[in-house]
Structure 1
């Protein structure tokens, strides 16, 4: 193995500038500096707020989304009982029976939905532009169902939506669990013909969608290409990865 000579000061500065991680923040005795501690606490507070704060009540309407609810009726309920975030309320499930596409169509159907998940900040900052970009890319070749917003949603609620509406694809844009680097990161989960029998390996996810991660336009291209592949190969998740991976 070739030995690499390091200039400790120069290389450390290069590394520190290449990552949002807290490197070389300094110390006062055995503790962080006051500035580093205040920065850490501020980032932690933003992460907590993103989880506990609800998406603004008028956000779905302003962005042309039909709002429905999971069985978790409050944020506390949502956090304490994850399974309640995986099903629609009975009333909203009945509403969806009227939205189910009528008649057979040769054009594949795609449902794009937005779930608040674990970050209201991510939804309010990034979900609308991602939704618009995706809609523009997909509208010419697929039958897009009316997009919806699910309050207090877990990812697996897309299985319940698939059970009711029977689209070919469900793509769920959801707020990721925030960290100390950002509270504004989205994920997009794509699943082919989901039902209540679907399992986690059936899903494919593109994550870290935010200004410091995958930019909105690039993320939309990746998600659209993923949807194309899922429809072409009639699969998603592990099954799609197996079909599209190059031969060994």
Structure 2
């Protein structure tokens, strides 16, 4: 009498073929009433990566050296949050410069009374990993367009323990017409290294999220550097023309093709 093979312990989900189209955790299957071991281990690994990204320290010295080698002046700054634990528990302190950093920015502003067209702030945010991987390649694409448009650029500001709103204080103190902040976004379980870009016209303390434009998910598996820079430059040009940013300034840039070479008309949300 032949023996029957044992029933499989893990049951495959019939939608499993859709997983090739998305990094989202779909169609994982099941083992009884639980996840299969492989899916559970993968989840735990992704969760550990996200936690590590949050607590990773940004190497501002190395980043400043790379920027200076490319001809940039650099101001190394710190928020009012003295350490990572405080930063994570007190978002309000991450939105303002420390007293020493505020004085450093003011000292430079006094030496350059004419102000600037643009200030760029690079900050750790909630993922220093994202900044380490993507800030410099993205900045290179942005610089190419800044030079073409003839905008004056303030020293690059590197800020530790920073939230988005801190960029507005930096821009105001430097008397910059516009500020762009490159900041590590809150890690997801499939994206521990996602970089966010925040743009404000006429920055000043007290601006809200409604006054800013955000371009998110900048990483190799997400929005490309070329496309992110393309959208930012469009927003900056329109902001200068209309003298505003935020919810009243829509992203209507021509959309680049997959090879980031030939533009196509229209908003990426349409048609």
Q: Which moved more, 1:133-142 or 1:52-61?
A: 52-61
For residues 53 and 124 of structure 1, the distance between their equivalents in structure 2, rounded to whole angstroms, comes to: 10
Matched, 1:82 2:91: yes
Aligned-residue CA RMSD (Å): 2.3
Contact in 2 for aligned 1:60/1:67 (Cα 8 Å):
no
Q: Which residue of 2 aligns with 1:225?
A: 234
Normalising by structure 2, report the TM-score.
Answer: 0.80
Matches within 5 A, 1:148-227: 148-227=157-236
Q: How many aligned positions are there?
A: 235
Equivalence map 1:6-85=2 (5 Å): 12=15, 15-64=18-67, 65-85=74-94
What is aligned with 1:102? Answer: 112
| SS of match in other structure, 2:249 | helix
**C-alpha separation between the residues in 1 aligned to 2:133 and 2:247?**
30
Q: Cα offset for 1:128? A: 1.2
CA offset at residue 124 of structure 1? 0.8
Q: TM-score, normalised by structure 1?
A: 0.87
Structure 2: segments with no counterpart, 5+ residues: 1-12, 68-73, 254-266
Please list the CA deviations of residues 113-167 of structure 1 after superposition, one character each: whole Å capped at 9, or x if unmatched: 1111000111111111111211122123200111111000000001211221120
**Aligned partners of 2:191 and 2:204: how far apart in 1?**
33
Q: For 1:174 and 1:59, how far apart are their aligned partners in 2?
A: 17
- Equivalent residue for 1:126? 134
Structure 1: gaps of 5 or more residues: 1-7
User: Is the contact made by 1:59 and 1:124 (CA closer than 8 Å) also made in structure 2?
Assistant: no
Q: What is the SS of the residue equivalent to 1:134?
A: helix
Larger RCO, structure (CA 8 Å, separation 6 or more)? 1
